[in-house]
Structure 1
């Protein structure tokens, strides 16, 4: 997380890629960081991408909330995460979002 919060774009990118293969191991911390981050939309996007990459049922509530949220890029990331999760609940949420026109 320290690298992802750096002002250096390369360090941010490095931090993201270092965490990516370990997202499932740090899922609870990533969710906490996502919920606490309010200012940096780019960081929020990366955190949600890491949460989605974990492909864990623990991520379902946060992905579901972002699927219907106001930020289109977060909605898209949540849809990808729910697709990876591929549970009946995740598929239902995706179907509902498509039916409501929230995602395509």
Structure 2
């Protein structure tokens, strides 16, 4: 087993270091490129096909989200994190509620609602108290 460190995520993820893993990661890189496309149809096609899954997937989405320098791309990646439904991303999405861009905060709220659970609800309620206009 090999390991890959994701500095922006602050985690090291174990993986199989064989040809199948490399092929999977190449396909994943191509999928991420389509997700980040400015062409809405390219994005929608990628969004509606079977997604990659596993800890590498979540870590990579978080890294890509943190590196996104525009709200359009960042919002799409936040949406994907919410759709993935992984409770481990709730604190990461909660940090997005502090983003200066209203659109990013809206995507983060949507993702937290999608994930659900006690922790996500707590962050949504805290945000409602701090910025009630975001929830109108």
Q: TM-score, normalising length from structure 1?
A: 0.79
Of structures 1 and 2, the larger Rg is shown by 2
Q: CA deviation at 1:60?
A: 0.9
Partner of 1:2: 33
Q: Which structure has more RCO (C-alpha within 8 Å, separation ≥ 6)?
A: 1
Output the aligned Cα RMSD: 2.1
Matched, 1:79 2:79: no
Structure 2: distance between partners of 1:77 and 1:55: 14
Structure 2: distance between partners of 1:54 and 1:35: 17
Unaligned runs of 5+ residues in structure 1 are: none
Of Structure 1 and Structure 2, which has the larger fraction of its residues in strand? 2
Q: Quick check: 2:35–2:42 contact (8 Å CA) kept in 1? A: yes
Of Structure 1 and Structure 2, which has the larger fraction of its residues in helix? 1
Aligned residues: 101
Q: TM-score, normalising length from structure 2?
A: 0.63
Structure 1: distance between partners of 2:65 and 2:46: 15
